[in-house]
Structure 1
Amino acid sequence: MVRAMEDILAEVSLETDSISVSYLQLYMETVQALLDPANDNIAIVEDPKSADVSLPGVTLVEIRDQQSFLELLQLGEAHRFAANIKLNTESSRSHAILMVNVRRSRWFVK
């Protein structure tokens, strides 16, 4: 995730573009926002016509640089469920999902 965000930040202009992220976990068939633990039962909605999938109500946080992204990752990791298993004493027991939204603005001058 860290290297992917480095690549994204290298390709955008923060003067005209914006980047926001959601950090989620799938745990026991429930999607939970790791950046907003109160948001703990996010629905997965599929549009039957287009087959587009969305997560209404998901928490989006804007980032400006790699440091702000790393701070969000640390916050999210602190909220992940963890439980020991025989093969891995630090197993998260959940699946992490990072969603990155990049909005690009282009200015056309005539």
Structure 2
Amino acid sequence: MKYSISTFLWTAAFNESNLALLAQLKEHGCDGVEIARFDYNDFPATKIRRELERTELECTMCFGLSGEYSLIDDDSRVRQKTLRRIWRNLASTPEAIAYEGLAFLKQHAKGCV
């Protein structure tokens, strides 16, 4: 069994100032971390990826869909807007995430719009 924790417990905008947290999580027995943010503009992906590699933590991303965003809304415009936001966030995080999630999203997002 692997253990992981979300950075949302500490911040909704994980950035460079939170990098030291990754080593602490590893020291406390975590195998992975979920990086949580609502906005991925100016996301320091390269620095985060380097620290993830140094600490040997696995990583997933949380894109914080809330309020006006939903992949299951009855309104196709809302679903399309949500997918655009997800793609924009993914485009700003390529060095920090594994691309398996992109393939999954591409395959399953077709029915959402």
TM-score tier after normalising by the smaller chain length: under 0.3
* Structure (1/2) with the larger helix percentage: 2
TM-score w.r.t. structure 1 length? Answer: 0.27
Higher relative contact order, chain-length normalized (CA < 8 Å, sep 6+):
1
* Structure (1/2) with the larger strand percentage: 1
**Bigger Rg over Cα:** 1
TM-score w.r.t. structure 2 length? Answer: 0.26
